[in-house]
Chains A and B, each alone.
Chain A
Amino acid sequence: MDDFLLVLGFSTLPLIAAALFSLVTPPLGATLYLRQEILFGIALPPAGALAVAFGAAFGLAEGDRYLLYGLTFLFLMLLTWLLPLGMRGGRMPPRRREIVLASVFALSGGLTMLVLALSPRAETYLHYVLHGEILAVRIGEVWVAAVASVMLLLLFLWRRKAAYAFCLDEESLFIRRKGYKRTVFTYRLAAVAIVSGGILLIGPMLMTTLLILPALLGEKVTGMDKYMVAVAGIGFFGTVTGFLIALGFDLPPSPMAAVAVACVGLLFRAAYRN
């Protein structure tokens, strides 16, 4: 027990970071799922990991990592802007969208491995992140993540009806013109901010898990507000539980949290009655 408390003392910051991201990431995954763009959840984390590897190869991971966050954010923003997924210019048919996003996933993974092979500095830095260790979080980063998470949650609470309209029936929002472009831009900005921060703080594996599993396992709920609360709850309780188990049994936190999110989600799905 004493050993556990000692490890927990060292792991407070990563635990807080993981808990924060487990609250904001699943609702983002749920909106992607509702928009039939869940492959974004698979494609963006590896693409972000590529930007991190590239930045680390050029020494951006040393000292404050804010430049690395900035580079990852800009890279993902550029990527989402280049993919013609909105209504303007014609919405890409689902089959084509799937293959494009799958290509981004495949290419990002390959290029990341190549950068790691070419740069020992990037390889050393990313080794732990890619293998699910999330223990190198600093207090400044946790503060930034906390402020950003609270702001994103408040923004979502305030504008959730617009987000739901965007997810459920984009055409109905588009024909109003007023507010459509702003909604698309804000949505993409929030998605990229969450994924960029998450990759560096909790790693691509847990990010992908939090984007996908709660959205799937919470879908029996009826009602949009309830669904969002359910996915955030599954993400939060799963991540915190998994993290604590990992600390207790000296396992890597990220994979353990991913498994715990699945278990909590399955329990929720089995127990939930409309």
Chain B
Amino acid sequence: MKTKLLSLENAAFGYSGSPVVEHINLEVESGDFILLTGANGSGKTTILRGVLGLTSYRSGKLRWNIPLTQLGYVPQESGIDPSVPATCLDVVYTAFPFANGKREEAAKTALERVNLAERSHHRFGSLSGGQKRRVLMARALAGNPTMLILDEPMANVDGETEIALSALLEDLRTNQGISVLATAHDWAWAPSARRMLVEKGRLHG
């Protein structure tokens, strides 16, 4: 039986002044794989950041039925300064900031799942763009999420990594019932996803 995780009713998000996206109606249930597609500047990222509370919520209804600690989020651009001394493991540890006791195993397992275990003690800033994206994916997975929110997960990743990440997402969805809400320009990597078009700040489909 499917559980409703997130529902948006006529929601609008934006910055000060007029909303960037509006009249957004969306429901995400357990096991769903929803892909928001659209041109640059159409409002895909604003919708994701809006549901996370990172872009101001203007009107309508937004309802989460899970604790937000059960979300895994991979942003389009890493907000982590490449010059900081943090290792990949340090970055993954930020998935459980208040956990008591060691979470090294969970963090290492997450890095293994994205094939970066051998880089766990390397500086995060020394990695390529695609590798950084995989570390952020590992961080999203490390907290045992119920739902993943991925902003352009395949941007700056090579073909091999794209295939591996695509297979991983499919496995998470079908075998663990993890829901995925993602944005992308290209949807070839997500054949099983339900596609919704974002156009001029409106969501269709």
Contact = CB atoms under 8 A, between A and B. Distances in A.
The answer to whether A binds B is: yes
Interface residues of A, number: 32
B54 A175 contact: yes
B87 A171 contact: no
Interface string A152-193: 000000010110111111111111111100010000000000
Contact of A168 (B56, B68, B94): B94
B137 to A, nearest CB: 13
Contacts of A172: 73, 79, 94-95, 139
Interface string A220-244: 1111101100000000000000000
Interface string B64-105: 000111010101001111011111001101111111000000
A219 B84 CA distance: 7
A168 B71 contact: no
Contacts of A171: 54, 75, 79
Contacts of B139: 172
A222 B87 contact: yes
Contact of A162 (B53, B73, B97, B121): B97
Contacts of A137: none
Contacts of B80: 168-169
A75 to B, nearest CB: 30
Nearest to B54: A171
Contacts of A223: 85-87, 90, 121
Contact of B90 (A90, A164, A170, A175): A164
A219 B83 contact: yes
B52 interface: yes
B84 A222 contact: no
B97 A173 contact: yes
A222 B85 contact: yes
A34 interface: yes
A124 interface: no
A222 B54 CA distance: 30
B68 A176 contact: yes
B123 interface: yes
A183 B122 CA distance: 27
A178 B96 CA distance: 11
A224 B94 CA distance: 12
Contacts of B67: 178
B85 A227 contact: yes
A12 interface: no
Given A168-B90, A226-B85, A175 B121 contact: no
Nearest to A175: B52
Given A168-B86, A183-B97, 15 more contacts: A162-B98, A164-B90, A164-B97, A165-B93, A166-B97, A167-B84, A168-B90, A169-B78, A172-B95, A173-B94, A175-B52, A178-B68, A179-B97, A223-B86, A224-B87
A219 B85 contact: yes
Contacts of A169: 78-80, 91, 94
Contact of A34 (B54, B81, B91, B98): B81
A110 B99 CA distance: 45
A36 interface: yes
B86 to A, nearest CB: 5
B62 to A, nearest CB: 13
Contacts of B81: 34, 36
Given A34-B84, A36-B81, A161 B54 contact: no
A273 to B, nearest CB: 14
A176 B53 CA distance: 10
